[in-house]
């Protein structure tokens, strides 16, 4: 597995060289954009606005910050590296938190952490976090962006999650509250209990992805895609008590 980052975790005065490799692979099906008449691929060119839309090569493209209209200061990759301190280049744990304290809304990307030497220090940190059910909060600069990081134990593995900063999380829209009766709450709770099962992610497959793959094969074979027959639409129940009662399995209702 190719690594996407090479650096170190700083834990107090302990220095642990590590690499990161992504946890999630992309299973998206790739489609090209083509002209529907000629079946030719659409090509996007990078052009210069002030030079008659002349195409610009990648090696001639740099980052510029516009401080006044039409005036830019240019930044190269070397400039961004010069800004980084030694602390910015490594993952420095600033504090530890209980894993349950971190709302999943803050989670962004996940990586596997692997030691590059310093195996004992790596395993010591891993076991200590497992024992206390704690995760390390850290910051580092990845590319040109400072990133908030959570380092946590999962079994015998160490995972790193990039987190969104507090100011990146948008305020939730207001929701009107409704008066709920005890009977409604009891029925809803019974339905949740009835539908509760152990989380087994392997049970859930990307069925639509498989349908798209099947449709691609049909198209290649020169066949049209046949729309599946629609099952009967479920009856619309306006009364919430009636909906809850009909949702519960008969055996459960009898037992109650």
User: What pLDDT score does 57 carry?
Assistant: 87
Which CATH code is given to the segment(s) 5-26+82-167?
A: 2.40.290.10
How many CA atoms does the CB half-sphere of 12 hold within 13 Å? Answer: 4
What string of DSSP letters covers 100-115?
GGS-GGGEEEEEEEEE
- The crossing angle, in degrees rounded to 10, of helices 182-195 and 240-247 is 30
User: What pLDDT score does 97 carry?
Assistant: 95
Tell me the torsion sign for CA atoms 16, 135, 93, 169: positive
State the Cα–Cα distance between residues 125 and 152, nearest whole angstrom.
10
Domain definitions of the chain by residue range: 5-26+82-167, 182-255
User: What pLDDT score does 232 carry?
Assistant: 63
CA angle 114–128–107, rounded 5-degree value: 60
User: What pLDDT score does 153 carry?
Assistant: 95
Report which of 110, 108, 101 is spatially closest to residue 132, judged by C-alpha positions. Answer: 101
Which residues in the chain show pLDDT less than 70? 1-3, 85-88, 230-238, 250-256
Q: Which residue has the tokens 């498989």?
A: 210
How many CA atoms does the CB half-sphere of 219 hold within 13 Å? Answer: 6
Tell me the residue ranges of DSSP E strands in 157-219: 157-163
Report which of 154, 113, 108, 147 is spatially closest to residue 18, judged by C-alpha positions. Answer: 113
Q: What's this model's pTM, rounded to 2 decimal places? A: 0.75
User: What pLDDT score does 143 carry?
Assistant: 73
User: What pLDDT score does 49 carry?
Assistant: 80
State the Cα–Cα distance between residues 113 and 158, nearest whole angstrom.
5
100 φ/ψ angles, rounded to the nearest 5 degrees: -70, -15
């Amino acid at each position: 597995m190719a690594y996407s980052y090479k650096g170190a975790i700083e834990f107090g005065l302990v220095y642990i060289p590590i690499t990161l490799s992504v946890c999630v692979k992309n299973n998206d099906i790739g489609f090209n954009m083509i002209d529907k008449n000629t079946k030719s691929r659409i090509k996007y060119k990078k052009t210069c606005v002030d030079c008659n839309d002349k195409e610009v090569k990648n090696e001639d493209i740099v980052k510029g910050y516009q401080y006044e209209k039409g005036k830019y200061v240019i930044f190269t990759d070397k400039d961004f590296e010069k800004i980084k301190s030694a602390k910015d280049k490594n993952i420095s744990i600033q504090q530890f938190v209980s894993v349950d304290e971190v709302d999943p809304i803050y989670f962004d990307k996940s990586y596997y952490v692997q030691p590059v030497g310093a195996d004992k220090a790596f395993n010591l940190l891993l076991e200590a976090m497992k024992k206390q059910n704690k995760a390390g909060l850290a910051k580092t600069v990845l590319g040109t962006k400072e990133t908030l990081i959570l380092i946590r134990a999962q079994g015998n593995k160490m995972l790193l999650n990039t987190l969104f900063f507090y100011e990146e999380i948008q305020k939730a829209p207001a929701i009107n509250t409704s008066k709920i009766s005890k009977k409604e709450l009891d029925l809803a709770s019974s339905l949740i209990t009835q539908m509760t099962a152990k989380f087994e992610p392997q049970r859930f497959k990307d069925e639509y992805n498989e349908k798209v793959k099947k449709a691609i094969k049909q198209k290649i074979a020169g066949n049209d895609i046949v729309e599946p027959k629609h099952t009967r639409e479920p009856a619309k129940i306006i009364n919430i008590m009636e909906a809850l009662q009909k949702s519960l399995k008969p055996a459960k209702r009898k037992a109650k």
